[in-house]
Amino acid sequence: MKERIIMIGANGQIGSELAAALRQKFGNENVITSDIREPNNQKEGEIFETINVLDKEALKSLFQKYKPTQIYLLAAMLSATGEQYPQKAWDLNMNGLLHVLDLALELGIKKIFWPSSIAVFGPHSPKIDTAQYCIMDPTSIYGISKLAGERLCEYYHLRYGLDIRSIRYPGIISWKTAPGGGTTDYAVHIFFEALKHGKYASFLSADTALPMLYMEDAVRGTIALMDAPSEQIRIRSSYNLAGLSFTPAEIAEEIKKILPNFEMSYVDHDPRQAIADSWPASIDDSSARKDWGWKPRFDLESMTKDMIENLKRDL
Ligand code: AKB
């Protein structure tokens, strides 16, 4: 079957690179990107539509116009910004998802990708190699909305047969588009600052380990999940996915191997520390490996090298 994709929230960190990979795979005419803001780097031949996911009628018109077979819903408010605007975060993250799920049912769109996050875990979840199924007591509004979203996704699959697929993304590290409003953002900012100013003040403490994933792995993993035969997708809430895991002190050491003059310092009392402290340090992704063959390619050393090489050329 010929696929046609609509991506919502396509201008963000993951959307911009995922959309490029999907356009390569399916062709420009079959990938429609959308966001609440115009993109600043649209290329000739690419189709973009401005849309607010909270405007259900506009969303319906968009779906009726392009008749997609797949929706990627990436519009969301992340953890740190969510703590500043909890009601807005809940509204965007929940109602955006509900609009897409309901319209998918109404218009017969079968396949949906929706990202969850390691933020679904909380202080009582195991910290190391956090399992797919365990205690989940998220304390951030973002994590609470993602956990509720996971339950909705599974419900719409079980009750209505929607082919929904999801990944619990860890922090995503990338050099093309910066992240915005997350707790894991330091792991991207550190590279930009190391190359521009030779130093970085981390808002997380030296020993705060968090799960992370390099963008190339994230894009490859997302497309592999969406390509897998439906019967292989045994988890319809969201899959744990691991790449690498490190602390600010460890990444600083790795950067110093390439940029020996790099200086790292730490800022006290940042509100993002409490969010990070409630999250896992590492993730067990054996279900994703077993069900649809997930395997990351980048470790701390190769990711650091690739980031610095690309940013050096780009900055
Ligand atoms: C965030 O830090 O909020 C995100 C996430 C882990 O989902 N990067």
- Mean pLDDT value of segment 292-301: 98
Centre of ligand 1 from the C-alpha of residue 276, in Å: 9
188 and 303, same domain (yes or no): yes
- Interacting residues of 273 by C-beta distance below 8 A, sequence separation 6+: 203, 204, 205, 208
Over residues 149-178, mean pLDDT: 97
Domain of 158 in residue numbering reads as: 5-171+214-240
Whether ligand 1 lies within 6 angstroms of the CB of 78 is answered as yes
Looking at the structure, do residues 153 and 273 belong to the same domain, yes or no? no
d(C-alpha 220, C-alpha 292), whole Å: 12
Are 157 and 25 within one domain?
Answer: yes
Percent of the chain with pLDDT over 90: 97
Q: Cα–Cα distance between 184 and 79 in angstroms, integer?
A: 9
Q: How many angstroms does the Cα of residue 119 sit away from the middle of ligand 1?
A: 7
Pocket of ligand 1 contains residue 243 by CB under 6 Å? no
Mean pLDDT across the chain: 97
Reported as a single tens digit per residue, the pLDDT across 65-124 is 999 999 999 999 999 999 999 999 999 999 999 999 999 999 999 999 999 999 999 999
The residue whose CA is least distant from atom 1 of ligand 1 is: 182
Query: For the residues 151-167, what does the mean pLDDT come to?
Result: 98
Is the CB of residue 145 less than 8 Å from the CB of residue 94?
yes
Q: State if residue 115 touches ligand 1 by the CB under 6 angstroms criterion.
A: no
Looking at the structure, tell me whether residues 136 and 151 fall in a common domain.
yes
Ligand 1 centroid to Cα of residue 255, in Å, is: 22
Q: Is the pLDDT of residue 1 over 90?
A: no
Rounded to the nearest angstrom, the gap between the alpha carbon of residue 291 and the centroid of all alpha carbons in its chain is 20
- Residue in 118, 130, 183 to alter for ligand 1 test, most ligand atoms within 8 A of Cβ: 183
Is 245's C-beta closer than 6 angstroms to any atom of ligand 1? no
Interaxial angle between packed helices 248-258 and 186-197, expressed in degrees from 0 to 180 and rounded to the nearest 10: 30
pLDDT in tens, 199-226: 999 999 999 999 999 999 999 999 999 9
Closest CA to 6 of 87, 56, 54, 74: 74
Please give the Cα distance from 186 to 154 (Å, whole number): 32
Give me the percent of the chain exceeding a pLDDT of 70: 100
Tens digits of residue pLDDT in 236-264: 999 999 999 999 999 999 999 999 999 99
Ligand 1 lined by 184 (C-beta under 6 Å): yes
Cβ atoms < 10 Å from Cβ of 37: 8
Nearest atom within ligand 1 for CA of residue 78: 3
pLDDT at 314 over 90: no
Residue 135 shares a structural domain with residue 259? no
Ligand 1 centroid to Cα of residue 185, in Å, is 8
Ligand 1 near 162 CB (within 6 A): no
Concatenate the DSSP letters of all residues of the chain into one string.
----EEEESTTSHHHHHHHHHHHHHH-GGGEEEEESS--SSPPTT-EEEE--TT-HHHHHHHHHHH--SEEEE-----HHHHHHSHHHHHIIIIIHHHHHHHHHHHHT--EEE--EEGGG--TTS-SSSB-SSS-----SHHHHHHHHHHHHHHHHHHHH--EEE-EEE-EEE-SSS---S-STTHHHHHHHHHHHHSEEEESS-TT--EEEEEHHHHHHHHHHHHHS-GGG---SS-EE---EEE-HHHHHHHHHHHSTT-EEEE-SS-THHHHHHTS-SSB--HHHHHHH-------HHHHHHHHHHHHHHH-
Categorize the per-residue pLDDT at 49 as very low, low, confident or very high, splitting at 50, 70 and 90: very high
Same-domain pairing of 124 and 195:
no
- Domain containing 146 — which CATH number? 3.40.50.720
182 in ligand 1 pocket by Cβ < 6 Å?
yes
133 is catalytic: no
Instruction: Decide: 76 in ligand 1 pocket, CB within 6 A.
Output: no
Task: Report the domain count for the chain.
Answer: 2
Catalytic residue from among 85, 133, 142, 160: 142
For residue 170, how far is its CA from the centre of ligand 1 (angstroms)? 6
Residue 149: pLDDT band (50, 70, 90) is: very high
Both 181 and 226 in one domain: the answer is no
Q: Residue 315 pLDDT more than 90? A: no
Q: How far is the CA of 64 from the centre of ligand 1 (A)?
A: 32
Q: Are residues 103 and 251 in the same domain?
A: no
My answer on whether 144 and 200 are in the same domain is no
- 178 and 236 belong to one structural domain: no
Which residues are CB-contacts of 240 (< 8 A; sequence separation ≥ 6)? 130, 131, 132, 168, 283, 284, 285, 287, 288
What is the per-residue pLDDT for 41?
A: 85
On whether both 35 and 105 belong to a single domain, the answer is: yes
CA distances from 25 to 16, 22, 206 (A): 15, 5, 40
pLDDT at 106: 98
Pair 53, 73: CB distance under 8 Å? yes
pLDDT of residue 40: 87
For a ligand 1 pocket test, name from 130, 184, 210, 278 the mutation site with the most ligand atoms within 8 angstroms of its C-beta: 184
* Ligand 1: residue whose CA is nearest its atom 7: 117
What span, in angstroms and rounded, lies between the C-alpha atoms of 6 and 30? 8
Looking from the CA of residue 117, the nearest atom of ligand 1 is 7
283 lines ligand 1 (CB under 6 A): no
- What is the 233 CA–ligand 1 centroid distance (Å)? 24
Least confident of 4-8, 41-45, 189-193, 263-267: 41-45
Same domain, 124 and 68: yes
Average pLDDT over residues 53-58: 98
Q: What CATH number did the domain enclosing 265 receive?
A: 3.90.25.10
* Among candidate residues 203, 222, 240, the one where a domain is terminated: 240
CB atoms within 10 A of CB 149: 26
For residue 270, what pLDDT is reported?
96
